[in-house]
Structure 1
């Protein structure tokens, strides 16, 4: 029975990333004892808390077999809106945060509606909206940061929930649990996976593909907005460049987690572990004083390797069924 259970776990999407994460932690801790210090763990968890939301934002779109190139632009626009509404309009923090999240949902709905109504590729539509949302961002800020962040927001961005675990990690945990429950238990989650698996078959079974696409993009926009808003709290400044470097990361985490780019198969746990692996790589470069620009090279290589492994697994599975 134990052997059968292990075999079942070994086939799970999250098993490989989990083993890679544990091995990496042991190896890095051996060569750099400071890696496991309380401060270093806190820094690592802060990065994971934000980046996981970015990864989830892209993951939900990959689930329907599409991609969202505007994830970073939406997150950046919502971050600027959050900071600007507090500094310029003097809105209370909860109101500014809700409006910021609402802007993210609106941006996602616009993406989904344009894709559904026009039938144009999500790649083209979100490439266009990336430019639009970024242009609005720069038009609002004139490329200048917002510095008037309330003390309560700054305090939350630097607060610890318990031990070395930052308070910023709590929203991420809630989102991860919510996404897992939605995809595995709720009808809309199953509709999303069904559309990604076979859009035509989903339509014939009575699923409104247009509605599912719009909902998926709305969720993606909400998660990107959440990441941008929390990043303002972490940085304690409304920086117009927020989100500019999210694109590669947003794809790296789900793909490392075994997501099928053609849609229909994603894993919340494996995507989270993909984020952890990326954070560990970044941390290693800092600890060992390696050129940080190599992060992009490593991420690109990881994406290629993960796509290759996924393709090999699918090929073997097809041959095995034959």
Structure 2
């Protein structure tokens, strides 16, 4: 029993879980409405979308890169999804499939450019961010699409037992698939190996280009899925979707113990990072604190998490040297 507890305490998810429990107790004690069914539903809606955003960036962090275009891809796919239903009256399933395909294509473009040019992922995705956002504005002329299919609206508004939103189901399914992929499937091991030591991974026969392209394609798919969920939640295709995703996409994986150099990420801990961010954001709203503090708090949390990860790495390095 003590051994199991010790192992749990060393896990990436233990710290975020402890912080989550403490935050819920503290906020709930000061404001009981925080634990009301309505507020829980609001929290879960935020977690459903933000979880996919975080997973999208987490996969790229796993290979030791970053994707600044996560929000631009999600926003473009959201606009394609809503626009096809509004302008061309395309059935919702076909519109969703088209939008998800575009997300994958955008991710593949990122991955191919990075793998074949050798240019930093930071530079490539900064450039494609501008391209994808430009296409978004070119399609919409900065105007929303309002005529969303009723089936999409009902999914965005529906909830299981009146509390758990339907939108949580895709996020939970994606989390399970990602955990299984990273821990049990060759492609997951390849992604972590490339992030951990690219040269060693190449010597062991792993195709760096295929792995990078695959990771970016999956990232694009998840960003697109987040965009679709946000359309269902907002009941419209807003051209500003994705504009504020960047900080969140890094905050949750880093809080969850992801190493920015690559090679180590945790799906459960990343999801708990999303929960922590959602709780803090909702608490600031409940206590009527200025919204700008949300960005301040997120920045501080990223710095604290990176510092904690760095401290943990230093301790581990010292232990290995002593051995």
- The normalised TM-score by structure 1 is 0.99
CA deviations over 1:116-173 (Å, ceiling 9, x no partner): 1100000000000000000000000000000110111111100012341000000000
2:111 corresponds to: 112
Partner of 1:320: 319
1:151 corresponds in structure 2 to: 150
Q: Which residue of 2 aligns with 1:295?
A: 294
Look up the match of 1:262. 261
Aligned partner of 1:79 in structure 2 is 78
How far apart in 2 are the matches of 1:22 and 1:137?
40
Q: Which residue of 2 aligns with 1:45?
A: 44
Which runs of structure 2 are paired with 1:130-279 in the superposition (5 Å)? 130-279=129-278
Distance 2:28 2:142 in 1: 40
Q: Which residue of 2 aligns with 1:11?
A: 10
CA distance in 2, matches of 1:20, 1:269: 14
**Structure-1 separation of matches of 2:161 and 2:119:** 47
Tell me, in whole angstroms, the C-alpha distance in 1 between the residues paired with 2:28 and 2:281.
15
Structure 1 stretches of 4+ with a deviation exceeding 6 A read none
Q: CA deviation at 1:5?
A: 1.1
Residues 237-272 of structure 1: CA deviation (Å, up to 9, x unaligned): 000000000000000000000000000000000000
Q: Deviations over 1:162-191 (max 9, x none)?
A: 341000000000000000000000100000
CA RMSD of aligned residues (A): 0.5
Residue 90 (structure 1) shift: 1.0
Q: Distance in 1 between matches of 2:131 and 2:255?
A: 29
CA distance in 1 between partners of 2:120 and 2:161 (Å): 45
3-state SS of paired residue (2:265): coil
C-alpha displacement at 1:43, in angstroms?
0.3
1:308 corresponding residue in structure 2: 307
Q: Provide the TM-score with structure 2 as the length reference.
A: 0.99
Superposed displacement of residue 31, structure 1: 0.6
**Correspondence 1:22 to 2:26:** no
3-state DSSP of counterpart to 2:160: strand
Q: How many angstroms apart in 2 are the aligned matches of 1:149 and 1:8?
A: 48
CA distance in 2, matches of 1:162, 1:17: 27
Provide the C-alpha distance between the structure 2 equivalents of 1:262 and 1:130, rounded to a whole number of angstroms.
22
User: Unaligned 5+ residue runs, structure 1?
Assistant: none
Query: 2:149 & 2:292 partners in 1: Cα distance?
Result: 33
SS at match of 1:311: helix
The whole-number CA distance in structure 2 between the counterparts of 1:53 and 1:193 is 19
Cα separation, 1, equivalents of 2:177 and 2:162: 24
Structure 1 Cα separation of the partners of residues 3 and 184 of structure 2: 25
* CA displacement 1:1-49 (0-9 Å, x = unmatched): x111111100000000000000100111111111110000000000000
**What is the number of equivalent residue pairs in this alignment?**
321
Is 2:57 the counterpart of 1:58?
yes
